[in-house]
């Protein structure tokens, strides 16, 4: 958190807690596929469907990076989509978080060594939460998101 | 709309992201007045260099690499590759393994068609149908997970056979699941053919006659909706399809509505096939030995993926690693057919034709560069659609 | 139309290049022919409605490594790129094999006959460095925009970027 | 009819006006999202979700993109929300008599509500981003298409009550038989018009998430977006009260208000999940061909009815 000017009164702590509470309970997400085999993408979309339904935790898939707090990205960043991934990340307003889903996003996965990929997402943008698995189950993705939100509490 | 420095330069906005079904692409039309004179597509956002990767991995490692080309038809890629390698090493696979491979291929077809039905409905703004289809798709995902242990990449294939067996309990679970899905598919057929707003978006859109479909080389349900009876399971039966004959499902009118209907009818056909396979499952062991070094040879293996014909060309040079593996995915056929189908059409028709041709197009980038002789402009897909609407008003 | 009958009439159609034919297995015919006769063969197939073009595959056949006893005056044989045009009719597969040396890798484009071959040709152009004469569209298909010109990834000579090149790529 | 008059300031800031209205807007948004989710067989958000969304958006960094008139960019959301809030003063919120009502406040309320949509349209047109440009054109095209039929249908009860004052129409509707039975067509067009005004599916072409990111509001983040979303919620509550006051037999006490509006919201949520999104030309076509004609027929029927009645 950027260092805010310290307000003397306890009012500041209350405001801080309310802000954190709001951020935990309504993490809007945007999903970016930087070259994934879309196995992870259909699992991310499956988390929004009736059986798993991430809307219970307030997660809503947004269209524009301007509206999103959490960037869920998949795939071993291909050279072509590297710049677009950066642009998406920069367009998102603070405070923003990045979740890398799938072993490709973590380490280039099975495509390690192919000539057109850069490897993992963390080589392009800072990542807050890694969710391994090829593809991770929807429960694992939800667990990852909840863990990220828990982390916010501190 | 800012004009471009040179026509070749194109700006790719970060559009709404979908589970991009193959490479997210990007279209470019050259227009003379209102008639499209040329069109081209630019892929490459998901190009990872897999074919080069296969040349530096052994035959067995390649199985896991090629399976991850596409998350929705992963079994079909592995099956085509395994059949090709078995042809190279001329190994014959026990019939029970072939039957299990066919069973998993058909279950994956259900999973892919239901997914496409949901995404197409979501693209047309019909979210309830999207939620319903994806909820029912969970049934087939559970069955696949029960059978193979994983929801998406099942890794059922091993060079020379299968590493998964179907016991009686799983067979009953699959039969019950298929019965439930058959009920739901009847409901979807009713929804797709009667819901007014949905018909408004799909009837008469992107009409393609049989000759055009053949001329443009469309494959899979998109071609069959125009009456092109091209289905590798019938033309060149592979795995266990000779034992379980398939009836080709074709439509006649060739518009987007017909493609919905053809895919839903194919689901009925798949349910029948699965029940047939489960009833007449041959016995025997599951794998056959395959040498580590495949003798020098060339092989072609063609398989019917949910989206159309998947073409594998394998070449070995006697070593542990393949000399060359060429993968031609079905989507590239549908894309190249759109490119040529677009010439001569009016620009105003293009948005509906593109989304009509293969709904997974619509998850491509939203940018269309219109190169007019007077100077080129960059339009978003939506502006093209807007242009189409004003043009017709 | 079972396999043998469709193979027979494929043979009949292409009897001009009878010498180049061989039968790797019972459902395939390979016809090797020089680049300049490619278009006429393809148009014969098209007129007879024999199947459809399923894929264009590139094969890199690098020059055999110059063995020790090769005397200096014999110029090292130039590597070749072989392009396979695979046509499918039912279960039968007819492959037209065209091979061109590295130095003069030019093949006439068949897009005038089969319009949808443009994507396959673009891909082969990018990845193998074969140029298809007067192909309608020669933009890049799959390789990224910042890919160095003249580097053809699917050739055997390409063994990936050195780390230095990778660094300068990433900024 | 309970005639409670509260000191004007409290009305404006606390009770039927400011804070309470915002809170009810949030509650109605939650009810709507929960119902649509339940229709789609999903669990749906928790009760405090809209509140959390709003606070989070307010706490987010506000990005003012380049190529945008900064003054306009900031004031538009405020103006839009202000228009929506003032419209609430003339409407019998929660069954209480409207705080301020004068002859002809029906037209003023409708004008204020469409000021809100105008604000969103201008916000979209203000930026350079192509998606919001298209979103803005769509919002405005849709505004011009549903405005006329919606106004005509609200004229019906006004003519019956022979007054332009919402509170009088409310009193009249309370005494006489429910207008929904005497003017069924008018009710249907008013309901569908309300859905068009609030851009619920099948009329959500202006912010079609799959086609143009989020339409006119693509460039907004943080405070601007929060204000616009709150404005939309308030518009939802006001729209519901208007249609209920006119067609479902007036509003006398808060309990009646709650029951009737929530039932109407249930009907609207059902309609929302039934239809696919209509293309913008289909929506405009639907409105002008069917909506306007039906509204005119209904109006004709009322005028003839009254004429026969008086003779």
The residues spanned by each domain of chain A are 27-149
Gap between the Cα atoms of D288 and D290, Å rounded: 6
Question: pLDDT over 70 for what percent of chain A?
Answer: 95
Q: Which residues of chain A neighbour C147 with C-beta distances below 8 Å?
A: 79
Domain span at residue C40? 3-63+79-170
Q: How far is CA B7 from CA A78, B3, B28, in A?
A: 25, 9, 10
Cβ-defined contact of D41 to B131 (cutoff 8 Å): yes
Cβ-defined contact of D44 to A21 (cutoff 8 Å): no
Q: What is the pLDDT of residues D105-127, one digit of tens each?
A: 888 888 888 888 888 888 888 87
* Residue B333 reports pLDDT greater than 80: no
The residue of chain B with its CA nearest to that of C116 is B336
Gap between the Cα atoms of B154 and B166, Å rounded: 14
Q: Between residues D3 and D161, which one has the greater pLDDT?
A: D161
Which stretches of chain A sit within 8 Å of chain B by CB?
Answer: 30-33, 35-46, 49-51, 63, 65, 75-76, 78, 80-81, 84, 87-88, 91, 104, 109-111, 113-117, 134-135, 137
Strand partners, C22: C30
Q: CB contact, 8 Å: D52 with chain A?
A: yes
CATH architecture of A27-149: 3-Layer(aba) Sandwich (3.40)
The dihedral of CA B34, B366, C124, B212: what is its sign? negative
Give domain status of residue C38, yes or no.
yes
B21 Cα to chain D: minimum distance (Å):
15
Cβ D41 vs Cβ A50: under 8 Å: yes
Give domain status of residue C108, yes or no.
yes
Give domain status of residue D116, yes or no.
yes
- Within C102-157, strands assigned E span 106-108, 131-133
The residue of chain B with its CA nearest to that of D127 is B1
What are the domain boundaries of chain B?
Answer: 27-46+332-392, 59-328
pLDDT number for residue A150: 87
Enter the ipTM.
0.84
Peptide bond into A95 cis (omega under 30): yes
Superfamily designation of domain B59-328: Cytochrome-c3 Hydrogenase, chain B (1.10.645.10)
SS3 label, residue D58? helix
Peptide bond into A135 cis (omega under 30): yes
Q: Which residues of chain C neighbour A115 with C-beta distances below 8 Å?
A: 153, 158, 160-161
Cβ D291 vs Cβ D203: under 8 Å: no
Q: What is the pLDDT of residues D170-181, one digit of tens each?
A: 888 888 878 888
* Residue B178 reports pLDDT greater than 70: yes
For residue B225, the 8-state DSSP code is T
Among B88, B308, B313, the strongest candidate for a mutation testing the C interface, having the largest count of C CBs within 10 A, is B313
Residue B328 sits at φ, ψ, to 5 deg, of -110, 105
Cβ-defined contact of B131 to D40 (cutoff 8 Å): yes
Query: What's the pTM?
Result: 0.85
Gap between the Cα atoms of D30 and D252, Å rounded: 25
Of A33, D260, A96, D305, residue with least CA distance to B21? A33
Q: What is the pLDDT of residues D238-251, one digit of tens each?
A: 999 888 888 887 78
Cβ-defined contact of D61 to A63 (cutoff 8 Å): no
C-beta atoms surrounding B203 within 10 Å: 14
* Residue A140 reports pLDDT greater than 90: yes
Q: What is the pLDDT of residues A30-55, one digit of tens each?
A: 888 887 887 888 888 888 888 888 88
SS3 label, residue B376? strand
pLDDT number for residue A39: 85
C118 Cα to chain A: minimum distance (Å):
22
Gap between the Cα atoms of B185 and B191, Å rounded: 10
What's the domain count of chain C? Answer: 1
Closest Cβ–Cβ partner in A113, A116, A123 for C144: A116
CA-based end-to-end distance of chain D = 32
Please give the average per-residue pLDDT across D195-208, as a whole number: 79
C24 Cα to chain A: minimum distance (Å):
32
SS3 label, residue C59? strand
Residue B378 banded pLDDT, cuts 50, 70, 90: very low
Of B254, B257, B160, B174, residue with least CA distance to B216? B254
Q: Where are the alpha helices (DSSP H) in chain B?
A: 50-54, 59-67, 74-88, 95-123, 127-148, 168-194, 196-202, 210-215, 220-224, 232-235, 256-279, 330-342, 350-357, 381-392
Residue C55 sits at φ, ψ, to 5 deg, of -165, 155
Q: CB contact, 8 Å: B3 with chain D?
A: no
How many residues are listed for chain A in this entry?
A: 154
Gap between the Cα atoms of B210 and B230, Å rounded: 11
Give domain status of residue C70, yes or no.
no
Output the CA angle D136-D140-D146, nearest 5 degrees.
145
Closest Cβ–Cβ partner in B41, B215, B309 for C54: B309
Gap between the Cα atoms of B56 and B58, Å rounded: 7
Residue B185 banded pLDDT, cuts 50, 70, 90: very high
Q: How far is CA D177 from CA D172, D173, D183, D248, D267, in A?
A: 9, 7, 11, 9, 21
Mark which residues 166-205 of D lie under 8 Å from A by CB.
none
Strand A29-33 to B161-162 pairing: unpaired
pLDDT number for residue A109: 84
Structure tokens at A11: 């009012």
Helix (H) or strand (E) holding B161: strand B161-162
Q: Between residues A131 and B292, which one has the greater pLDDT?
A: A131
Mean pLDDT of chain A: 85
Domain span at residue D196? 8-310
Q: Is C46 exposed, middle or buried (0-12, 13-18, 19+ CB in 10 A)?
A: middle
Cβ B201 vs Cβ B385: under 8 Å: no
Cβ D108 vs Cβ D91: under 8 Å: no
pLDDT number for residue A139: 92
For residue D252, the 8-state DSSP code is -
- Would you give per-residue pLDDT tens digits along chain C (171 residues)? 577 888 888 888 877 777 778 888 888 888 888 888 888 888 888 888 888 888 899 888 887 766 555 445 555 567 888 999 999 888 888 899 998 888 888 899 888 888 888 888 888 888 888 888 888 777 777 778 778 888 888 888 887 776 656 666 555
Q: What is the pLDDT of residues C135-161, one digit of tens each?
A: 877 777 777 877 888 888 888 888 777
Of A50, A85, A84, A73, residue with least CA distance to A141? A73
Residue B342 banded pLDDT, cuts 50, 70, 90: low
Q: CB contact, 8 Å: A12 with chain D?
A: no
Give domain status of residue D251, yes or no.
yes
Give domain status of residue D286, yes or no.
yes
For residue B287, the 8-state DSSP code is B
Q: Which residues of chain C neighbour A80 with C-beta distances below 8 Å?
A: 144-145
Cβ-defined contact of C144 to A115 (cutoff 8 Å): no
* Residue B327 reports pLDDT greater than 90: no
How many residues are listed for chain B in this entry?
A: 393
CATH, residue C10: 3.30.460.80
Residue B176 banded pLDDT, cuts 50, 70, 90: very high
Q: Which residues of chain A neighbour D131 with C-beta distances below 8 Å?
A: 64
The residue of chain A with its CA nearest to that of D209 is A63
Peptide bond into C66 cis (omega under 30): no
Concatenating the DSSP letter of every residue in D93-110 gives GGGSPPSS--TTHHHHHH
């Amino acid at each position: 958190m950027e260092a805010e000017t310290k307000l003397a009164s306890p009012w500041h702590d209350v405001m801080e807690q309310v802000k954190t509470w709001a951020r935990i309970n309504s993490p809007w997400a945007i999903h970016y596929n930087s070259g994934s085999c879309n196995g992870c993408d259909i699992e991310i979309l499956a988390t929004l469907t009736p059986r798993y339904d991430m809307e219970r935790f307030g997660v809503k898939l947004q269209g524009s990076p301007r509206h999103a707090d959490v960037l869920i990205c998949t795939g071993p960043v291909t050279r072509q989509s590297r710049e677009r991934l950066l642009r998406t990340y920069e367009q998102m307003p603070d405070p923003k978080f990045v979740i890398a889903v799938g072993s490709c996003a973590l380490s280039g996965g099975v495509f390690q060594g192919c000539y057109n990929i850069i490897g993992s997402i963390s080589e392009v943008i800072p990542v807050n939460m890694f969710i391994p698995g090829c593809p991770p189950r929807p429960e694992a993705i939800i667990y990852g998101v909840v863990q990220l939100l828990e982390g916010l509490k501190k | 709309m800012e004009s471009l420095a040179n026509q070749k330069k194109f700006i790719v906005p970060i559009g709404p992201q979908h589970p991009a079904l193959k490479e997210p692409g990007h279209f470019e039309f050259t227009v003379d007045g209102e008639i499209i004179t040329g069109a081209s597509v630019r892929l490459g956002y998901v190009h990872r260099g897999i074919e080069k990767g296969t040349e530096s991995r052994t035959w067995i490692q390649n199985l896991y690499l090629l399976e991850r080309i596409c998350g929705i038809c992963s079994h079909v890629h592995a099956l085509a590759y395994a059949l090709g390698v078995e042809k190279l090493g001329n190994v014959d696979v026990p019939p029970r393994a072939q039957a299990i491979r066919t069973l998993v291929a058909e279950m994956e077809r259900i999973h892919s068609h239901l997914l496409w039905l949901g995404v197409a409905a979501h693209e047309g703004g019909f979210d309830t149908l999207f939620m319903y289809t994806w909820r029912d798709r969970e049934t087939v995902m559970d069955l696949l997970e029960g059978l193979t242990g994983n929801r998406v990449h099942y890794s059922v294939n091993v060079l020379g056979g299968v590493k998964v067996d179907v016991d009686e309990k799983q067979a009953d679970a699959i039969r019950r699941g298929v019965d439930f899905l058959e009920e739901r598919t009847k409901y979807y057929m009713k929804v797709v053919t009667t819901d007014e707003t949905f018909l408004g978006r799909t009837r008469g859109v992107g009409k393609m006659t049989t000759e055009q479909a053949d001329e443009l080389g469309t494959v899979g349900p998109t071609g069959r909706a125009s009456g092109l009876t091209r289905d590798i399971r019938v033309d060149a039966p592979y795995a266990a399809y000779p034992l379980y004959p398939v009836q080709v499902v074709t439509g006649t009118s060739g518009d987007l509505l017909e493609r919905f209907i053809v895919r839903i009818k194919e689901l009925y056909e798949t349910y029948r096939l699965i029940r047939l396979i489960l009833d007449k499952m041959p016995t025997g062991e599951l794998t056959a030995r395959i040498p580590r070094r495949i003798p020098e040879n060339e092989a072609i293996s063609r398989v019917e993926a949910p989206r159309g014909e998947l073409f594998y060309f394998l070449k070995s040079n006697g070593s542990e690693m393949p000399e060359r593996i060429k993968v031609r995915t079905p989507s590239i056929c549908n894309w190249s057919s759109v490119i040529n189908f677009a010439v001569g059409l009016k620009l105003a028709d293009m948005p509906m034709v593109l989304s009509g041709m293969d709904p997974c197009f619509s998850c491509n980038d939203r940018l269309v560069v219109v190169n007019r002789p007077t100077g080129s402009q960059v339009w978003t897909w939506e502006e093209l659609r807007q242009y189409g609407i004003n043009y017709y008003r | 139309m079972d396999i043998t009958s469709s193979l027979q009439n494929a043979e009949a159609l292409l009897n001009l290049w009878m010498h180049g034919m061989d039968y790797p297995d019972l459902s395939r015919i390979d016809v090797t022919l020089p680049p300049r006769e490619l278009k006429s063969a393809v148009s014969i197939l098209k007129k007879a409605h024999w199947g459809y073009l399923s894929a264009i595959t590139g094969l890199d056949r690098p020059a055999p490594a110059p063995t020790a006893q090769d005397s200096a005056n014999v110029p090292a044989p130039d590597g070749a790129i072989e392009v396979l045009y695979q046509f499918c009719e039912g279960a039968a597969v007819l492959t037209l094999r065209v091979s061109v040396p590295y130095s003069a890798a030019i093949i006439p484009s068949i897009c005038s006959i089969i319009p949808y071959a443009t994507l396959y040709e673009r891909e082969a152009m990018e990845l193998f460095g074969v140029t298809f004469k007067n192909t309608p569209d020669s933009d890049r298909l799959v390789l990224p925009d910042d890919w160095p010109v003249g580097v053809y990834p699917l050739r055997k000579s390409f063994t990936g970027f050195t780390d230095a090149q990778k660094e300068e790529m990433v900024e | 009819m309970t005639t409670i008059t509260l000191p004007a300031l409290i009305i404006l800031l606390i009770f039927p006006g400011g804070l309470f209205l915002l809170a009810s807007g949030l509650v109605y948004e939650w009810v709507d999202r929960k119902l649509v989710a339940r229709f789609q067989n999903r669990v749906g958000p928790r009760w405090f979700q809209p509140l959390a969304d709003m606070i989070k958006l307010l706490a987010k960094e506000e990005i003012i993109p380049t190529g945008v008139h900064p003054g306009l960019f900031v004031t538009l959301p405020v103006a839009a929300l202000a228009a929506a809030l003032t419209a609430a003063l003339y409407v019998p919120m929660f069954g209480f008599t409207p705080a301020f009502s004068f002859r002809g406040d029906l037209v003023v309320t409708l004008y204020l509500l469409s000021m809100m949509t105008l604000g969103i349209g201008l916000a979209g047109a203000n930026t350079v981003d192509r998606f919001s440009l298209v979103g803005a054109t769509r919002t405005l095209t849709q505004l011009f298409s549903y405005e006329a039929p919606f106004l005509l249908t609200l004229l019906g009860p006004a003519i019956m009550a022979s007054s332009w004052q919402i509170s009088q129409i409310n009193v009249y509707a309370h005494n006489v038989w429910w207008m929904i039975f005497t003017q069924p067509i008018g009710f249907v067009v008013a309901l569908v018009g309300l859905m068009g005004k609030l851009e619920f599916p099948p009329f959500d072409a202006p912010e079609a998430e799959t086609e143009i990111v989020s339409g006119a509001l693509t460039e907004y983040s943080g405070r601007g977006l929060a204000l616009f979303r709150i404005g939309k919620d308030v518009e939802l509550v006001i729209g519901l009260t208007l249609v209920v006051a006119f067609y479902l037999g007036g509003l006398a006490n808060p309990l009646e208000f709650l029951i009737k509006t929530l039932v109407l919201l249930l009907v609207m949520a059902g309609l929302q999940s039934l239809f696919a999104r209509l293309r913008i030309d289909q929506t405009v076509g639907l409105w002008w061909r069917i909506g306007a004609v039906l509204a005119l027929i209904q109006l004709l029927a009322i005028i003839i009815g009254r004429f026969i009645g008086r003779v």
